[in-house]
Structure 1
Amino acid sequence: MATQQQRTRGFRAQPLAWCIGLALASPLGTALAQDNSNAEKTETKIETITVTAQKRVQNVMDVPLAIDSVSAEDLTDTSSVLLGDIADYTPGFKFSKEAVAQASAEVRGISSSNISTGGDPSVAIFFDDFYLPRAAQSVLFSDMQRIEILKGPQGTLFGKNAAAGVVNMIPNAPRLDDEAFVKATLGDYALQRFELMGNKALTDNFALRLNLMSNKRDAYVDNLNPDYRGTELGSVNHRSARLAALWQLSDATKLQVSYDWDDVDQGYAPGVGVSPYAYSLNPGDRKIENDVVDGHETRDMTALSIKLLHDFNEQWSGKFISSKRQWQVSGRDDADGTADKTRYLDTINFEDSDIFYNELQLNYNDDKLSFVGGMTYSKENVYQKTSLNILADTIARLTTDSLNQQLIGALQQNGLPDEMIAQMGLPADHIWNPQNWASMLSVMAMVDPSVAGLLQMLGAEPFSPELVAAIGATGDLTYDAIAGGLGVAEIFGPSNSGKMWSEDIINTGDFTSYGLYSDLDYQLNAQWGFTAGLRYSRDEKDFSWEIKERSFGQPLPGITNFLFPLMPELTASKSWSKLTGRAVARYNVDSNNMLYLSYATGYKSGGYDSLDPMSSQNPFAPEEVANIELGYKADLWQSLRVQLVAYQMDLTNRQRSVNSKAPDAGVAIPIVINGDQEIRGGELVLDWQASDSLKLGLVTEYRKTESKWQQFYNADGELVTDVEKSSAADSYTLTADWAPDYRLAGGAFKLHVDYVFEENTKADDPDILDIAYQIPGYFADTKNLNARLSWASHDDQWQLAVWGKNLTDNTTVGGLGGFAAAALGTPLTSLNAPRTVGVDVRYQF
């Protein structure tokens, strides 16, 4: 078997050859040899999937795009209620599984940057045609028609330019008939999920559709800290409601008004500490000992939306949509993963924002020509307050580290060997430990007469037991004296233990976005078709930073902020614009086989880093993408569906989040930097209707990324200039659906099984922490086996199911990092969900 290095070299030399070779080795080779006279459309046994990605109803196999459609049945089979639940079943797509307010989408390895409100997401997400900004992207969904995921740059079909891709979530609209269902899902970890849908036609032309959903679950990890008083970390409490009204004004015109409510009130996703100071170095224990004060994640979000649709004639139609969405977000998480109050650090993110989104669209369709054109306008107002909270005990530890560096450096300059320095008690662990402080004072006394005089006043000699006893007996006296003598206010005594040191940075933003787009598709003849589209985007951003002084317990003279230096309100303003587009050529070998070649460009506006006021003078640049894609789609032998894509994406000024500690800063914070990337990969989706009762599927991808980033200070405060990186990853998902002929009480059974594999590439990270090699399972691949067995009555009125996820109880460990990783030696990681089982009961009225 070829080594990974050999495979990578071969793929790198010919970026498109891998997928082309697969295509030619597949039934395409046979299909190309067939006589076109046999190219009449055959009726396949495999299910036809319709999408509206190009703003008209099409068979997904006729769309010259890399697109995945997740149906309502798929959502049921996988028990999916959030975008993170479907990520394993769509190649090239990932979405945060735990976080809600700070969730992030990723397509083909491209994800959004950090929590900054000054930037836009790389993946544009739409719900019922309306754009969802960064903090609003993760919504609890029920009663969905389907979810479409378009990969690669988009903008000529949707109301927001997207550098990496688009997720289009399509809920069921109100109908002029009566229907309803209730559904309950119960499982271990106290899972309780309840859904209700009711659709009522009140008149011949007016209907209402109501959806209610509640999703609750206990945490997958145990917090063993008996003093913790916040919401259970990792617990879920998410509720949503939607009321939509349809008014059929005439045969050609209809109006839809909807109100959406989404409420999150749960524990923050737990940071699993993996350090000598955490509960364990083995995340697989699923035990933590976190001491964050009031850990929580909340979001209260509402939206009022209007859609007016009109058919002018058989060819022309139009649509106008408008919505106002607003949300308040609060999240407080443990950033150190320990119960050690000398290493305490937490962060709070609070947001109060809204968006006013509008779009006008025209559509034309006939046998050969299709046109989509429109304009968009949106106005987003953002307010964000980011707080860093540290106990005085932690500040004293950081002060200890600073004094250690100064004292040890002075001793080394005087020629003292490390062994002798260690005998003097350096480096000290914490200045509030009398023995440690006595060692420090003794070393200071060797070079500073005033410190020697202080020891004489205490009646103690350097390095003597009497000095340790005197420190313990005098409380803050020695600390105050040294602080005054050295002019270092951060040296303070143990009477301040338990006091909270808090710093805030406040941001406001006013973002205006305009867009004009058009997309033209022409079917030249039975074989050839062409598509061309253009989009003009303009983004205007006004942003501000303000850092106010916060009290630290009782005021201490000279104490000031050390992470966010005090700063009056600072404002900045800038605009960006870009013309992007796509060109696609498709060739129908016959009515069941299609090849397409596309070139598309995308754009994401520049912006400001909410945690870095320096970005007011140097905002991060717009993210620009150019993507060339070769695709093959085929329905073969009435039973096999093939979707094969090879692509190369070139990114300029990719926006990336890194943990950075500027010189003289207290701890590292996430900032945004720019860089260039080249991503080459392939995606393959196979669906095989093996028999009338058995359907098999394969979803897989391979991706290789080469990156070159601008220089930055890393989490240790070191300037990183060698920032070229290369990485490769592959993954696949196998699915099987079996519907046997066996009947019970007149009802039918269905068994769904899927297996998810994702290669672990953490060993390729050049910045990997040494402690990673001590963490069991850190380099293990993801291997999840899931299954669902359901029974439906002959009239589909009743549906019962039992299901299990991660049946082999495979543990997958996330990456290492966090605010406190470098400064306090307390990195964090995350965990996947363990084995879970449950039951579904659904009743259709």
Structure 2
Amino acid sequence: MRNLHNPKKLIIQAICEMGISKPITLIWYGLTGCYLVLSTTAVNAQSNEKVSSEQLHMEEVIVTSQRIEENIQNVPIAVTAISEEALRDLKIERGDELLRAAPNVTFSKGNFNRYNLSIRGIGSKALSASSDPGVAVSFNNTPLLRDRLHEQEYFDVERVEVLRGPQGTLYGRNATGGVVNMLPRLPTQEFEADIKSEVGSYNTRRMSGMLNLPLSDTLAARVSGAMTKRDGYDYNTATNNDVNNRDLYSTRLMLDWSPSAKFNANLIWQHFEEDDQRSRTGKQLCTPDPGPGQIDDREISEDYALHFTQGCKPISLYDEKSYGAPNGFTLANFAYLQAWFQAYPAGYDADGNPVLVFKPDNPYKDINQSRDLRKIATNYDPMFNAENDVVQLNFEVALTDSLTFFAQSTYIKDDYYSFQDYSRFQSNAIFNDTSGLFDERGEPLKDTQGLTPGGVFMDPQLGATTGLTAVEVYESDSTQWAHELRLQSAFDGPINFSAGINYLDFESLEGYFLFNNTYSLLAEVIFESLYTPCNDENKNECFYSDLNSIENVDGEGHNYFYGPNPVETRSSAAFGELYWDLSDDVKLTTGLRYTRDHKITTPIPPQILLGASINSEGELETGEATGGSIRRGFDPLPDVVQKWNEFTGRIVLDWQARNAFTDETMFYVSYARGYKAGGTNPPELGVDPSVVQVPDLADTFEPEFVNAMEFGSKNTLLGGNMTFNTTAFFYDYKDYQVSKIVERSTLNENFDTRTFGLELEAVWLATSNTRFNANLGYLKTRIGDNEKSVDVLNRTQGNEDWTLLRPNFQVGTSCIAPTELVNTILDSAFFPSFGHFMLWSACPGTLRWGDFDPETDVGIPFDALIDYVYRPLTDAPNGGRGFDVNLGGNELPNSPNYTFNFGVEHIIGIQDWDLRLRADYYYQGESYARVYNTEYDRLKAWDNLNISATLTQPNWDFQVELYVKNVFDDAPIIDAFTNADDTGLSTNVFTLDPRIVGLSVYKAFGNQF
């Protein structure tokens, strides 16, 4: 019976029933798809419809997951192969949509320039310029340390292979989660050409095409390309512009030369370019945290509540309260400036009343965001630029009839630039009009305009600003060389092998800028009053502010945050696999790999709002007012050199079983050892420790190791009309890398975990006109006992003896302090006149005042002002960062227990035309965005439906397709990222593309032309 009250169920029921002959019964089963009940005569059932000229079939799928061409059903590896036709049918246009083709695969954009492609719970949760991907992305078997998988669209592809599980032997870089390998179509000795044009929702325009030319009997060329333009999916209510549009193109040129049967060479050049207003991240959510009304029995005024709030509360992202904005009083730089200007007004009005630069209100007061995740409100529209080139040269030489030598060299150049508003909501106006003011004597001020004439502050990078304004820029420039030499045997006997060596050299410079008008105001008002501004003639005390426009900043200013991260990775390996046919039905595979990884990182501490002095003898001295170590630019630390030498490999036993239930069955059991290198955490603030101390965070993070057991079977049934593959796996994982934002930077931590799961994949050709496909993944991850971490959203963990405090503006990260100390400050004679500064000084990283022991004392020596001795770095847990949370038993982030995909395809013959109807349903279960597994971290289950109707004229090689992606037009939150304390711990969320209705026309040309 149809569920008329649930249109989503109704649509899926209709899809499950379409084009099915009577001997087959399909039963709707819950929310996860269609459950098949097959009668014994189903395979032989004949459709009453006219037989189409184009018939579906079960083609042999050839893969190179073991670096030789093999039928996928004979490969003892959990691998999913997706041909170009399958990519088109599934409407998989980019790498982020591969999750709909393979079980236990998830994907989300990352907060910066990367993404998290996860297989079996293992992905890339480490944020560092030196970190490696957990799932390796390869182009024609070469690993790409920087790639455009989630931006570039697939075109002219032979197939995409998704290998699940650690790949520690044959593939060019160790990958603990798996490998995604994209294999382009190579030139052939046949004339071929095709062209495809497409239009769709949001003014989408797509064009792709290919031309294959045989230039001689031995030389062939192939050129292909694709272009996409569309309007924005999101709407910026502040600028009244559509944003998150796309404007990109890709080209590929290939030459293939085969002068003899024993030699082949090919050269590939691929170029990708994007220049549009795509947003790097999604909407920003926050449940405002007003702070406590009282501490113990003492009421806290709103002026001082700002010291005891973190900005945003950690409640469910699906709660309607999450569509607010942070408590603006918690932003340390804004709060400090307010306190400063209360003591130092901008001037006096004609009646003698003091005029402050800042208005007294919360800059985010009464701001409520739209509940539509596709609507943002930012001062600036985003900008996105990316350019990527891949050049690859391949040689294949038959040394003998049974030995083949392969050589591959690849060069990759990748450039990236992203500009966007730091927050996804606008603040209220925060500045008063400072023009035409008087001094205390009633005389007009010499500066008749003041800092904020007309309530406007002119920021050197951001221009005219009236509210809290901040912009972030992320850019990177990387190059990679990769070389591999390999020898492959094809002996007639029971033993064969594949062995080789490879080398990789990768260099990258990543940089993150944060421009904020309050930073510039602090630099102009406070620091340039403490120091003489730097110029070419002046070599005395100085504080350098970069006054260039945002497009032309010199990267040496201390009035903005800039974190450059230069990294070099060199990796070499020797590897080999042995294949031994123990009998006609049993084969043993053993593989071993020895890897040497060498990473060099140059730590360059940020110098925001810091300065130094030059004494009369021309020597650099620490700036006592800021703790800065350099007056302009940066003061790099010594290189961090990391080296690892590791053995990895695998052993597999597979058995071609014979039974009465299947046509062919292979069982296999395997053990694999995987490894991924460690790296360095970005450096902390560049302060002089004799003036300012901050908690000591780890400079590096450990490599990952995994021991993986896998049991599987691959089955062909029903006379070749069905394949049914199953896999069970268990991982013992050591030091999985996960990051969080601490001290305006990323801190990567390591956690042990155990993982197990099941995977099912099936394709069934019910009739020559009807085909079904399905996959199901079950995953259970568990973080090891006694693994601990500080949750930045809950630093006190409910301990009433400790109180959350906001820090000084230079550090930016909240701390915890003894509640007894807080009460003592609030009871002291210095409160409230000096209260702000005393409370700030209870956090690490605050300037020390008075006499102190440089080894232990931090902040104001309270015993000189009040009867209390406190040293946060030693007296507070984790140097004042907060209490640890025991993560034991929690799930890994982005690891849903269930993933499910079901597809049905049916062809109807209409005279000389064929009508192909297709529907694909995908479901992903609940998961968590962070390791803490709180209600705030919970990501709800979501699903997706795509449908299409394709009209084909086989005799003309002509095709017209009408499709709908995301039929339900859902916008689920598929991942979330917790921002820094500088944003009040707001949350960036990521979602799906909206519903897209499109129409495409395709024409192919063959030898007859």
Q: Using structure 1 for the length normalisation, give the TM-score.
A: 0.76
Cα deviation 1:676-703 (Å, max 9, x = unaligned): 1111111111111111111111111111
What's 1:157 paired with? 170
Q: For 1:147, what is the secondary structure of its paired residue?
A: strand
Cα drift, residue 183 of structure 1: 0.8
1:117 to 129, 136, 149: 129
CA distance, structure 1, for counterparts of residue 920 and residue 728 of structure 2: 25
**Matched AA of 2:505:** K
2:414 to 323, 327, 338: 327
Q: For 2:755, what is the secondary structure of its paired residue?
A: strand
Q: For 1:545, what is the secondary structure of its paired residue?
A: coil
Cα drift, residue 761 of structure 1: 3.0
Summarize the Cα distance change of 1:550–1:617 in structure 2 as closer, same or farther, 3 Å threshold. Answer: closer
Q: Does 1:249 align with 2:374?
A: no
Please say if residues 271 and 830 of structure 1, whose CA atoms lie closer than 8 Å, have aligned partners that are also in contact.
yes
Please say if residues 272 and 283 of structure 1, whose CA atoms lie closer than 8 Å, have aligned partners that are also in contact.
no
Specify every segment of 5 or more residues in structure 2 that has no aligned partner in the other structure, as ranges.
1-34, 41-55, 287-323, 326-363, 429-466, 531-541, 544-556, 614-622, 686-694, 794-813, 815-880
Summarize the Cα distance change of 1:567–1:767 in structure 2 as closer, same or farther, 3 Å threshold. Answer: farther
Q: Does 1:284 align with 2:383?
A: no
What's 1:427 paired with? none
Summarize the Cα distance change of 1:636–1:612 in structure 2 as closer, same or farther, 3 Å threshold. Answer: farther
What's 1:701 paired with? 777
CA distance, structure 1, for counterparts of residue 564 and residue 386 of structure 2: 19
Please say if residues 350 and 385 of structure 1, whose CA atoms lie closer than 8 Å, have aligned partners that are also in contact.
yes
Please say if residues 389 and 500 of structure 1, whose CA atoms lie closer than 8 Å, have aligned partners that are also in contact.
no
CA distance, structure 1, for counterparts of residue 411 and residue 917 of structure 2: 42
1:629 to 705, 710, 713: 710
Cα drift, residue 819 of structure 1: 2.2
1:363-402 equivalences under 5 Å are 363-367=488-492, 368-392=494-518
Cα deviation 1:720-770 (Å, max 9, x = unaligned): 242324236112011111112x224x2212112111111123499745466
CA distance, structure 1, for counterparts of residue 777 and residue 256 of structure 2: 41
Please say if residues 788 and 803 of structure 1, whose CA atoms lie closer than 8 Å, have aligned partners that are also in contact.
yes
CA distance, structure 1, for counterparts of residue 930 and residue 149 of structure 2: 30
Summarize the Cα distance change of 1:815–1:509 in structure 2 as closer, same or farther, 3 Å threshold. Answer: closer
Instruction: Please state which structure has a larger fraction of its residues in helix.
Output: 1
1:718 to 858, 875, 882: 882
Matched residue count? 693
2:984 to 812, 818, 824: 824
Q: For 2:162, what is the secondary structure of its paired residue?
A: strand
What's 1:454 paired with? none
**Matched AA of 2:901:** T
CA distance, structure 2, for counterparts of residue 99 and residue 258 of structure 1: 32
Cα drift, residue 351 of structure 1: 1.1
Q: Does 1:596 align with 2:609?
A: no
What's 2:903 paired with? 735
1:344-359 equivalences under 5 Å are 344-359=469-484
Please say if residues 273 and 385 of structure 2, whose CA atoms lie closer than 8 Å, have aligned partners that are also in contact.
yes
CA distance, structure 2, for counterparts of residue 327 and residue 763 of structure 1: 29
Please say if residues 750 and 791 of structure 1, whose CA atoms lie closer than 8 Å, have aligned partners that are also in contact.
yes
What's 2:213 paired with? 200
Please say if residues 573 and 593 of structure 2, whose CA atoms lie closer than 8 Å, have aligned partners that are also in contact.
yes
Q: Does 1:581 align with 2:649?
A: yes
Cα drift, residue 345 of structure 1: 4.1
Summarize the Cα distance change of 1:750–1:800 in structure 2 as closer, same or farther, 3 Å threshold. Answer: same
What's 1:413 paired with? none
1:750 to 905, 913, 916: 916
Q: For 2:602, what is the secondary structure of its paired residue?
A: strand
What's 2:282 paired with? 271
1:653 to 726, 735, 744: 735
**CA RMSD of superposed structures (Å):** 3.5
Q: Does 1:682 align with 2:692?
A: no
Summarize the Cα distance change of 1:221–1:525 in structure 2 as closer, same or farther, 3 Å threshold. Answer: same
CA distance, structure 2, for counterparts of residue 274 and residue 161 of structure 1: 37
Please say if residues 335 and 819 of structure 1, whose CA atoms lie closer than 8 Å, have aligned partners that are also in contact.
no
Cα drift, residue 98 of structure 1: 8.6
Please say if residues 785 and 805 of structure 1, whose CA atoms lie closer than 8 Å, have aligned partners that are also in contact.
yes
1:404-415 equivalences under 5 Å are none
What's 1:517 paired with? 575
CA distance, structure 2, for counterparts of residue 48 and residue 268 of structure 1: 41
Deviates more, 1:115-124 or 1:143-152: 115-124
Percent identical residues:
23
What's 1:450 paired with? none
Cα deviation 1:499-532 (Å, max 9, x = unaligned): 9941112221221100111111122223211111
CA distance, structure 1, for counterparts of residue 918 and residue 570 of structure 2: 46
Cα drift, residue 263 of structure 1: 0.8
CA distance, structure 1, for counterparts of residue 83 and residue 565 of structure 2: 40
Please say if residues 99 and 268 of structure 1, whose CA atoms lie closer than 8 Å, have aligned partners that are also in contact.
no
Cα deviation 1:165-198 (Å, max 9, x = unaligned): 1111110011122111111121101211111211
Cα drift, residue 380 of structure 1: 0.9
1:661-680 equivalences under 5 Å are 665=743, 667=744, 669-680=745-756
Cα drift, residue 59 of structure 1: 1.1
1:297 to 362, 374, 384: 384
Q: For 1:53, what is the secondary structure of its paired residue?
A: coil
CA distance, structure 2, for counterparts of residue 552 and residue 186 of structure 1: 53
1:115-514 equivalences under 5 Å are 115-138=127-150, 139-226=152-239, 233-266=243-276, 267-275=278-286, 276-277=324-325, 283-284=371-372, 286-292=374-380, 295-340=382-427, 344-367=469-492, 368-392=494-518, 501-514=559-572
Please say if residues 229 and 248 of structure 2, whose CA atoms lie closer than 8 Å, have aligned partners that are also in contact.
yes
Cα drift, residue 255 of structure 1: 1.1
Specify every segment of 5 or more residues in structure 1 that has no aligned partner in the other structure, as ranges.
1-24, 31-43, 400-474, 482-488, 491-498, 773-777
Summarize the Cα distance change of 1:765–1:254 in structure 2 as closer, same or farther, 3 Å threshold. Answer: closer
Cα drift, residue 87 of structure 1: 1.7
CA distance, structure 2, for counterparts of residue 84 and residue 287 of structure 1: 22
CA distance, structure 2, for counterparts of residue 625 and residue 655 of structure 1: 12
Please say if residues 354 and 380 of structure 1, whose CA atoms lie closer than 8 Å, have aligned partners that are also in contact.
yes
Please say if residues 658 and 672 of structure 1, whose CA atoms lie closer than 8 Å, have aligned partners that are also in contact.
yes
CA distance, structure 2, for counterparts of residue 559 and residue 289 of structure 1: 35
